[in-house]
Structure 1
């Protein structure tokens, strides 16, 4: 998507699942179901096909270059950035903390495996730039990954490339 001057300057950050946070959010859903309670007003509960991922920024002055994503098989993956910085008490996720735009990439069921993934280039560009902006004030950023239409976390590789600001 973007061009960079010197490949040795690149910083590629891989999205990693935050298993503990995903599990904590799943427990919140099952606790509400067991007790028959309703979610808080504006609360965003984790759906069964979603997981929480994170990016850790060791360098916080970054310019977005491009996305790298691969998905074996077919399906659709959406990535939603979260403005919330979780604290040790793991406060509930509220819908107002979800960022726009979201990143989406997919391969349709009938497409051969070697068909490149489809994505909305303008949204992915803006999303990458938004991540670089937030990195200036964050050491960690969280994301909701949703796996649909046959996509599975085990078949996904997703990272984003930045160049450090000079």
Structure 2
């Protein structure tokens, strides 16, 4: 049986993280060692795992305009109540997906296939011990926003 899980923007967590930046700037303080702030082109998404015995099948990404999307998973040790992402806790490889200018809308999204495959497999592996994972979506060379992308992963449920 297959299961499709969608990445959902975590608006509340993004707001908390952006407020952290504003607070430090207003007080003239510096970030903590290893602390990474969200840039304007970065957004936090989450994926909730209703099943935990999964086998990665494929990515489903739909971008309505040209641009690059890097999806970076955070370590299973990172908890969403923290207001920062620690650079040492971002997992490799990342998922890199793009649509080139002039691509027909029916042309599939391009990616580094080996990295995307390994990344999907790592997510399935981490799902065995996590009910929720957070991801950093970094948009580059884009002419679209959060509302212009749909992203999910298909898994087979292992019994």
Per the TM superposition, whether the score is higher than 0.5 is: yes
What is the rounded CA distance, in whole Å, between the counterparts of 1:162 and 1:113 in structure 2?
25
Q: Which residue in 1 is equivalent to 2:52? A: 60
After superposition, the CA RMSD in angstroms is 1.4
Structure 1 stretches of at least 4 aligned residues deviating more than 6 Å after TM superposition: none
What is the rounded CA distance, in whole Å, between the counterparts of 1:114 and 1:164 in structure 2?
29
Q: Is 1:105 the equivalent of 2:97?
A: yes
SS, match of residue 53 in structure 1:
strand
SS, match of residue 134 in structure 1:
helix
Q: Mind listing any 5+ residue stretches in structure 1 that lack a counterpart?
A: 1-8
Q: Which residue in 2 is equivalent to 1:153? A: 146
What is the rounded CA distance, in whole Å, between the counterparts of 1:115 and 1:87 in structure 2?
36
Aligned residue pairs: how many? 157
Q: Alpha-carbon deviations, 1:12-71, whole Å to 9, x = none?
A: 000000111111111111112222211111111111111100010111111111110010
Q: Is 1:123 the equivalent of 2:105?
A: no
Q: Is 1:11 the equivalent of 2:3?
A: yes
Q: Which deviates more, 129-138 or 23-32?
A: 23-32
- When you count strand as a share of all residues, which structure comes out higher? 2
CA shift at 1:91, angstroms?
Answer: 4.7
**Residue pair 1:78, 1:103 contacting (<8 A) in 2 also:** yes
What is the rounded CA distance, in whole Å, between the counterparts of 1:36 and 1:154 in structure 2?
34
Q: Which residue in 2 is equivalent to 1:23? A: 15
Q: Which residue in 1 is equivalent to 2:34? A: 42
SS, match of residue 39 in structure 1:
coil
CA shift at 1:122, angstroms?
Answer: 0.3
CA shift at 1:116, angstroms?
Answer: 2.6
What is the rounded CA distance, in whole Å, between the counterparts of 2:65 and 2:43 in structure 1?
19
User: What TM-score does the superposition give when structure 1 sets the normalisation length?
Assistant: 0.89
Q: Mind listing any 5+ residue stretches in structure 2 that lack a counterpart?
A: none
